[in-house]
Amino acid sequence: MKKIHLIILFFCVILTSFITYAEERIFLQEDTRQIPYIYYPKKQTLCPEDKSNFNCLNVFLHTKTSLHIQTETGKRVYIQTREHNVYQLLQDSRITSTTPKKIAILYISTGKYIQFWNNFYHSAERYFLPNHHKTYFLFTNHDTLDVPTNVIKIHQDQLPWPYITFQRYHFFSKIAHLLKEYDYIFFMNGTLFLKDYVHEEIFPTKEQGIMVTLHPGQYRKAPATYPYERHPSSQAYVSYEDGIYYVAGGFNGGTAESFLKLTETIKQMTEKDLKNNILPQWHDESMLNRYLIDYMKTGKKPLILTPQYLMPESDFFNIAEFLPYTKILILEKKRYGGAKYLRQNN
């Protein structure tokens, strides 16, 4: 009888170990649900036994039960552990797309902001989608500025603050006939600087359409505290019952078709507010957040990036966890004369 008990105990131990192993393994399953997915910084790496192809999957622990991810093959999957935490995949920086895409980069640099252009351009050439064909559309009033061959200058008068930022989608709309020839379009703010490689993880799928970036100052805050536009007469108005995310205006993009639809819609929203002498609290950013809410209400699930793609040079708010994984830096204006100086018309 004692032997039987020992045998039973032995098999129980083996069975428990097997179940624990099975539950703790990371499972990759195809997930066709249309839910938002967010890219997080890499924390640990999963590689196949044959590491020669470099198809390693970098992952970061997140606490929700299921999120979309995108592998290097483009298949949407989710992975889960027995604690029901979700690991979010990032493409390894060595993984590249097989087919180079045509990329349009929109950059506004008028007046004293031109001092940021040169460093931005060289950092973007090195780190931003290096395996694709990039064209920069530089909106500037510095008409005599010499630029490289992959830069197209678009004359833009220096409008008084904040209209230079509030009306940015008007600028983009004027060259929509040029932009429609590209695969993807990305807007990058005039104080950004690339710190690390940004690859295809920022490409939204055709179904997603657009890509937005979580605002570093609002990350993990309650939606009711977000600085949405609360003026009911504004086209950017958001009620306290609405909204899930608050995204920054400084880095967004999408497929050409989806981004140009966004551009035209926000342009029309902006024109209505201008006609009614209404200026939303955060200008174009307020409009973008209203657009995102409406976009998601149609069933669309945009690609949402975390603050590692818009990391402040100072004032890290509550996003210190992303510091080691910074991709794009927001330069501190104080080091360049301050916001008031930079906005001067001469």
- Structure pTM? 0.76
Lowest mean pLDDT among 13-27, 76-90, 200-214, 320-334: 76-90
How deeply is 6 buried, as exposed, middle or buried, from its count of CB atoms within 10 A (0-12, 13-18, 19+)?
exposed
In the predicted structure, residue 206 carries a pLDDT above the cut 70: yes
In the predicted structure, residue 250 carries a pLDDT above the cut 90: yes
Residues catalogued as catalytic: 285
Q: What is the DSSP string of 112-175?
A: GGGGGHHHHHHHHHHHBSTTSEEEEEEEES-TT----TTEEEEE---PPTTHHHHTHHHHHHHT
pLDDT in tens, 221-230: 899 999 999 9
265 neighbors 244 (Cβ within 8 angstroms): no
Query: Residue 288, Cβ neighbours under 10 Å: how many?
Result: 25
Query: Looking at residue 12, what is its pLDDT?
Result: 56
Q: Band of the pLDDT at 23, cuts 50, 70, 90?
A: very low
Query: Looking at residue 98, what is its pLDDT?
Result: 58
In the predicted structure, residue 80 carries a pLDDT above the cut 70: no
Q: What does the mean pLDDT of the chain come to? A: 78
Handedness of CA 252, 109, 102, 100 (dihedral sign): negative
